[in-house]
């Protein structure tokens, strides 16, 4: 394969730091992603409320995302 140079690393670093908006969330961090999205959408909510809501979501037969929980909770 191609040998990576220090310049390649610098170029990639600069590109990553010029990214606008947020990065795509990793699927493996469902809990962290849920809490981040819950708190962003509910700025006055406490961390305890977010955790309690996550615990409720874990017992539901729906995908474990904030968007899916929000759709479910508005029914």
Is position 54 within any domain? yes
**Tokens representing 51?**
């955790």
pLDDT at 24: 73
pTM over 0.75: no
Is position 18 within any domain? no
- Of 7-11, 21-25, 70-74, the range with the lowest mean pLDDT is 21-25
Is position 49 within any domain? yes
Burial 26-56 (b: 16+ CB within 10 A, else e): eeeebeebbbebbbeeeeeeeeeebeebbee
Is position 15 within any domain? no
**Rounded average pLDDT over 65-74:** 95
Is position 63 within any domain? yes
pLDDT in tens, 12-66: 999 888 878 777 766 668 999 999 999 999 999 999 999 999 999 999 999 999 9
Range of the domain at 46: 25-73
Structural domains counted in the chain: 1
Is position 68 within any domain? yes
Is position 6 within any domain? no
Is position 19 within any domain? no
């Amino acid at each position: 394969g191609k040998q990576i140079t220090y310049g390649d690393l610098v170029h990639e670093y600069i590109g990553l730091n010029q990214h606008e908006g947020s990065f795509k969330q990793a699927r493996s961090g469902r809990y962290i992603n849920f809490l981040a999205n819950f708190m962003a959408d509910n700025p006055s909510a406490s961390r305890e409320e977010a955790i309690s809501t996550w615990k409720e979501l874990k017992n539901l037969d729906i995908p474990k995302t904030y968007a899916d929980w929000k759709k479910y909770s508005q029914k």
